[in-house]
Chains A and B, each alone.
Chain A
Amino acid sequence: MLRAYAVLYIAVLYVPILFIVLFSFHSSAALTFPFEGLSLRWYREALADPALLDAFLNSVKVGLLTTLITTVIGSMAALAFARIGGRLKKIFGFLSFAPIALPGLFIGISLLTLFSQLGMQRSLWTVTLSHVVITLPFFIESCRSRLEFFDLSIEEAARDLGARPFTVFRLVTLPILAPTLIGAAILSFAISFDEVIITVFVSGNQSTLPLYIWSMMRLSVTPLINATSVIAIASVILLVLAMSMILGLRRARARQQRHSRNTAHV
């Protein structure tokens, strides 16, 4: 009974998306049944617009830079939670959660006023900085519970054995936390790649992929939007898979190297 409900719940979540995919292959311009036949014409038309590729590349650039910044400072912040306590921890916990408890609109307009007061030209840079404001809290929140209970005595043991702080981090802390951090980094990328509510306010002349789709949606309803949407969904899936493969591969390599180094010492 409950299982049937769960299956229905998932099905309803995916139905609108399936309709979009189906009609992106429609041979006519109608977005209605009866379905007249399959065709790739809308994909051809979507890909013929050079602005789509520009928007896609801009989104990739912003997404990667956002992820890099978020991962570096977010990992440091998440590690900090195991080391601080009391009031400081409360204040920082609040500060790092507040941006996701507020609607994106609020963040968007307040960043817009900041950039205008500083006289900053709106560009992909302001978009990246703005994305960090929401990816960072998501990153910290998704690592925090696991990192808070990180056993600091393991690090102490390594230090007692004469390891320098950076070596401790590289050989002890990082390998233990890597899977959590990689997951959070991929989450950050996916959030940045899809972000539109804040981006509307802080972007300049250069469009991101969601902004490109939004400007299409405001003009008309045609299968061209469906094809572009499917391209967007497919690219986020492919990029996330690629990232997890690349990051996972590195991890495996690092483990391998460490292993071979250890055995060489013996």
Chain B
Amino acid sequence: MSPRERSGLALMAPAAGVLVFLFLIPTLILLVFSFWLSKSFVLIPAFTGENYMRALQSSGFIAVMLNSLKIGLITATVSVILSYPMAVFIVFKTRTNLFMYLVLASWFTSYLVRIYGWRMILGSNGLINSSLLAAGLIDQPLDFLLYNAVAVVVAMTHVYIPITLLMLVSALRDVSPDYIAAAKDLGAGPMQTFLGVTLPMINRGLISSFMFTCILAAGDYITPQLLGGRTGTTVGLLISNQFRQSGNWPFGASMAFISFVVFVALYFAVVVGFRVARLAPYRRYH
């Protein structure tokens, strides 16, 4: 081993130690826990698939799982569609970093505060309802604005869209404007240029941006708790409840690992989907 590598190893050691001790080992403990049992708040070491069976046989868990997939996918789709033109603008159409800074700054205005903002806007005494009532457009407050999946999607899109945008921007920065100009010169329309030139070049970044947003949304338990109501429940909320209220940790752990597997599978499904639809090349060509 060269001295350079040896010094690299020494420099890496503290961070690697922290990540192993505070990330890898806890994840393994959680995995082990998912095979244990909990009887009246006491953990019983065991090796049983009971928790997994219980979760997979529970229609409630399956329903919430599907619901969070739906919420995650819709949030991610909306975030990517809304952010793509913005990313194009930031990368190709403007020289100032002002827009990027403004988006980043909004990301750092408290997560909780932004969720609370939506409760204020959508609530039955909220800004939308009170304005509509005052304008005489409705007689009764619209109840469907808050405590459902739509409110959760709206708030989550708002909360996570800066990350979606950030990842799209970094993907688009790899695309040389020359390619796009060349496509245009050869007579391709905007859609053809996007599908044939840009998308194959950014497909990895696009998928990461989409999946990152989707996973953040499905794992969020605070937005569903504050805005979700019955139809806005996510797996995140279900899992967090096991670790806070009813206290069946092994059961909660098994649900966490089931969700993990589901989202890894979803990731691969999206990657394969892109290839089958011929929107992603089998290898990078730039």
Contact = CB atoms under 8 A, between A and B. Distances in A.
B121 A113 contact: no
Chain B interface, >50% SS class: helix
Chain A interface, >50% SS class: helix
Given A2-B89, A10-B102, A200-B244, A79 B29 contact: no
Contacts of A197: 111, 220-222
A225 B120 CA distance: 11
Contact of B240 (A12, A23, A105, A132): A105
Interface string A210-233: 100110011001000110010011
B33 interface: yes
A130 B22 CA distance: 7
13 contacts: A6-B94, A17-B117, A32-B126, A33-B130, A77-B14, A79-B8, A80-B12, A95-B24, A99-B23, A101-B215, A140-B15, A213-B113, A217-B112
A99 B202 CA distance: 24
Contacts of B83: 9
Interface residues of B, number: 78
Contacts of B126: 31-32
Interface string A112-129: 111001000000000001
Contact of B11 (A83, A112, A190): A83
Given A2-B85, A17-B106, A133 B22 contact: yes
B20 A10 contact: no
Interface string B2-35: 0011011101101110111011111101100100
Interface of B: 4-5, 7-9, 11-12, 14-16, 18-20, 22-27, 29-30, 33, 82-83, 85-86, 88-90, 93-94, 99, 102-103, 106, 108-114, 116-121, 123, 125-127, 129-131, 134, 158, 161-162, 212, 215-216, 218-222, 226, 236, 239-240, 243-244, 249, 252-253, 256, 260
A80 B7 CA distance: 8
A266 to B, nearest CB: 32
A23 B266 CA distance: 42
B220 A83 contact: no
B113 A232 contact: yes
B219 A16 contact: no
